[in-house]
């Protein structure tokens, strides 16, 4: 897959002196979903805002579809749709009119059939003549997505798309994003819900304090950094673990012993461990392993790399 967006050594220092981004380089591939993860104030929104033309970069170079975002901004921006983090709408406008406005703003000829398809996909068609102020928070957010899609962008930026959105709606939103991906739209989303990145992304980038700490395929990341936990369930409760099994942790009811290990290590120590149970005469009822979540990975990375 070719790079849809090329970011080289991008930096941003605001007039107040705050350094929001420093030396970020990244290629975003056509058709992928890239999740940018990071705590509040990490620089995620600044990154997206520069790519979309809302913030002027202090240094570095960005091309979108081969077009420089500053010199050739018309061609670059025409490819992009942005769903901002804050819900900002003309509250007295109707749904259909605000979406028509967005399309017109991008210089595209009116195409109500296309807009109908978008509004139907976002379950907004029945509300097309409603005023925006009458809509629920979740609907307003979907209107923002409809506006961003109104000109048929090849790239969609979603800045915290599901912040403050209930679980059902979040699932619906994910479905919409998957649908767009299947149509070949490149999607960049920022989130601090790790669940979201884990669920949606092909690749995950981690930003902290204005630096891009890493970008990896999600599965590689999980594999590389994922720790596993082996839980051994015992037939009879025990009060303490014998010295040979001291690396394990015993649950308070004495029925489970858990062992943490690196899944990608050459020697995981599992065979030796299970042999020790047999040698100590402790009978094992069941064995389960659990992969650590992206959240664990994330917290570890931010701690280790920061």
Partner 1 sequence: MNWRSILTIFNFEMARFWRTPWESLAAPVVSTVLYFVVFGAAIGTRIQSVDDISYGAFIVPGLIILTVLQQSLANASNAIFMRKFVGTIHEILAAPISFIEVVAGFVGAAALKSVIIAIVIYLTALLFVDLPLVHPVLALALLILTSFGFALWGFLMGIWAKDWQQLQFIPMMVITPLVFLGGAFYSASMLPPFWEGVAKLNPVLYLVSGFRWTFFGMADVPILSSIIALAIFLGLGFVAVWAIFRTGWRLRP
**Contact set with partner 1 (CB under 8 A):** 14-15, 52-56, 73-78, 80, 82, 84, 86, 88-91, 101-102, 104-109, 147
Considering the complex, what minimum distance in angstroms separates the CB of residue 108 from partner 1? 7
CA 106 to chain centre: 27
Considering the complex, what minimum distance in angstroms separates the CB of residue 303 from partner 1? 31
Considering the complex, what minimum distance in angstroms separates the CB of residue 86 from partner 1? 5
Nearer to partner 1, 104 or 164 (CB): 104
Contacting residues for 204 by C-beta, under 8 A, at least 6 apart: 34, 35, 37, 197, 215, 216, 218, 221, 294
The CA-atom distances, in angstroms, between 76 and each of 72, 104, 225 are 6, 17, 36
Considering the complex, what minimum distance in angstroms separates the CB of residue 201 from partner 1? 23
Nearer to partner 1, 15 or 240 (CB): 15
CA 297/CA 206 separation, integer angstroms: 11
CA 54/CA 81 separation, integer angstroms: 12
Nearer to partner 1, 84 or 205 (CB): 84
CA-based nearest residue to 42, from 221, 226, 205: 205
Whether 39 and 302 have beta carbons less than 8 Å apart is answered as: yes
Considering the complex, what minimum distance in angstroms separates the CB of residue 183 from partner 1? 21
Nearer to partner 1, 78 or 274 (CB): 78
Nearer to partner 1, 107 or 243 (CB): 107
């Amino acid at each position: 897959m070719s790079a849809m967006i090329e970011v080289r050594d991008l930096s941003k220092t605001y007039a107040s002196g705050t350094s929001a981004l420093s030396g970020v380089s990244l290629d975003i591939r056509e058709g992928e979903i890239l999740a940018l993860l990071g705590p509040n104030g990490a620089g995620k929104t600044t990154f997206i805002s520069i790519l979309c033309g809302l913030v002027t970069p202090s240094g570095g170079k960005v091309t979108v579809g081969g077009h420089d975002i500053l010199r050739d901004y018309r061609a670059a921006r025409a490819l992009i749709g942005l769903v901002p983090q804050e819900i900002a709408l003309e509250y007295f406008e109707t749904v259909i009119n605000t979406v028509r406005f967005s399309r017109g703003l991008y210089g595209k000829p009116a195409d109500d059939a296309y807009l109908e398809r978008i509004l139907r996909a976002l379950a907004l068609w029945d509300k097309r003549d409603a005023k925006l102020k009458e809509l629920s928070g979740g609907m307003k957010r979907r209107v923002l997505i409809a506006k961003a899609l109104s000109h048929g962008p090849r790239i969609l930026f979603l800045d915290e798309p599901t912040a403050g959105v209930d679980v059902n709606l979040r699932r619906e939103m994910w479905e919409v994003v998957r649908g767009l991906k299947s149509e070949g739209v490149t999607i960049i989303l920022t989130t601090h819900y790790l669940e979201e990145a884990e669920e949606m992304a092909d690749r995950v980038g981690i930003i902290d304090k204005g630096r891009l700490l890493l970008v990896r395929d999600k599965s590689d990341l999980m594999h590389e950094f994922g720790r596993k936990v082996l839980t051994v369930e015992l037939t009879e409760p025990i009060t303490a673990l014998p010295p040979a099994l001291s690396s394990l942790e015993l649950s308070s009811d004495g029925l489970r012993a858990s062992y943490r290990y690196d899944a990608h290590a050459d020697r995981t120590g599992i065979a030796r461990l299970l042999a020790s149970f047999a040698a100590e005469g402790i009978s094992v009822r069941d064995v389960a392993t659990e992969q650590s979540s992206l959240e664990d990975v994330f917290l570890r990375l931010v701690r280790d790399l920061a």
